[in-house]
Amino acid sequence: MHLKPLLSRLFDLGSRLVGRYPGTVALFGFCSGVASFLLVERQAGLAKVVALVMLVSWLWLVLESSLHRSLHRWFGWQVPPPLLRYATQMVHQESLFFIIPFFAITTTWNSGQALFTGLLGVAALVSLIDPLYYKWLAPRRWIYLGFHTLTLFAVLLTALPIILHLSTPQSYQLALAVAVVLALPSLSGLFPRWSWRNVPGIVLLAVALGGAGWLGRTWVPPATLWLADVAVTMNLDNRQRRPGQGLRQLSSAELKSNGLYAYTAINAPRGLKERIYHEWLHNGRRVDRIALDISGGREAGYRAWTHKRNFPADPVGRWRVRVVTEAGQMIGMLRFQVTE
């Protein structure tokens, strides 16, 4: 009997506190997001709890309007709009600052992946600056829902391997499918008036969005895989699993004498198991693709290497070794130059 007045008073108190100290929301979102990342790195079990909280909070965002109406209809609880807006903003901040440290580590910054991670950084900045968030983003409903979708997509890329122990390709496919489905309301906002005639257009836009997301997967960093150590070397200690002296340049004669090792220590935390590939490229053209199976759990990363002895007749030029997942997402890149 006394629950409804108590909750109403709590909602009213929360609304007044948020209105009085609005900066605390931004500060809490930033600090808790970074703290979440640090806790994930140190304790695998806690990572699942943090990721589940993120996904539950996103369920709140998706059902925000429906839950608000249902609470008012069933219990008579009227959640103050300012409190509701700040709760939504805090979920955005918490989510973005939880995932950005992952992407900042896994991004290959001299590649197109910098654009995706940069976009997440811009989204985090918008969520922190109230005039941008409330006066520019929130009134534009279809952009606001697109903002939702982008953040959820990145959260799923980070959370699914932690919660369900999915591989990186499986996580990407599932995250993309969920993002496309949840993007449907924002796509319908592109049409001035709702009509059943708009349905084929919305479906085509959704298919185009999914296709673009799949084709652009090489520009999306794998959030739970990153290179802990890399080296291009002529020697490798097989017993100690340690590379010899790293090289950035070598002669054609040195290359053909004993071949070359591409050494990578890949951090795949929380027991992930993946198949990755070393793709050897000469002057931009792929000449070899070698599969490696890795598993996580080691702090210094899973140490794997490929030894290439078969080189073109004229190997002079720029060489790269791209480390990619089975879905084609790039984990990192090694570069070296072969001279005459």
Report the 3 state secondary structure along 122-178. HHHHHHHCHHHHHHHHCCCHHHHHHHHHHHHHHHHHHHHHHHHCCCHHHHHHHHHHH
Structural domains in the chain?
A: 3-219 (no CATH), 226-339 (2.60.40.1930)
* Contact between 102 and 149 (Cβ < 8 Å): no
The per-residue pLDDT for range 113-153, each reduced to its tens digit, is 999 999 999 998 888 787 888 788 877 777 877 787 888 88
pLDDT above 50 (res 42): no
Q: Are 152 and 182 in contact (CB under 8 A)?
A: yes
* Mean pLDDT in residue range 205-212: 86
Structure tokens at 6: 């108590």
Q: Are strands 226-233 and 260-267 parallel, antiparallel or unpaired?
A: antiparallel
* pLDDT given for residue 117 in this prediction: 94
Please give the radius of gyration of the chain, using alpha carbons only, rounded to the nearest integer: 24
Residue 193: DSSP 8-state: S
Q: What is the mean pLDDT of the chain?
A: 77
What average pLDDT does the segment 225-235 reach? 86
d(CA 45, CA 165): 12
Instruction: Please state, for a pLDDT cut of 90, what percent of the chain lies above it.
Output: 13
pLDDT at residue 1 is higher than 50: no
Mean local confidence (pLDDT), 297-322: 83
Query: Sorting pLDDT into bands at 50, 70 and 90, what band is 6?
Result: low
CA distance 221 to 332: 9
> In this predicted model, what pLDDT tens digit does every residue of 247-295 receive, in sequence order?
899 888 888 888 888 998 887 765 567 788 999 999 989 999 999 887 7
Rounded mean pLDDT, 230-244: 84
Distance of CA 7 to the CA centre of its chain: 37
Q: What is the pTM of this model?
A: 0.75
Cα angle 309-296-53, degrees, rounded to a multiple of 5? 140
| Span 75-79, average pLDDT | 57
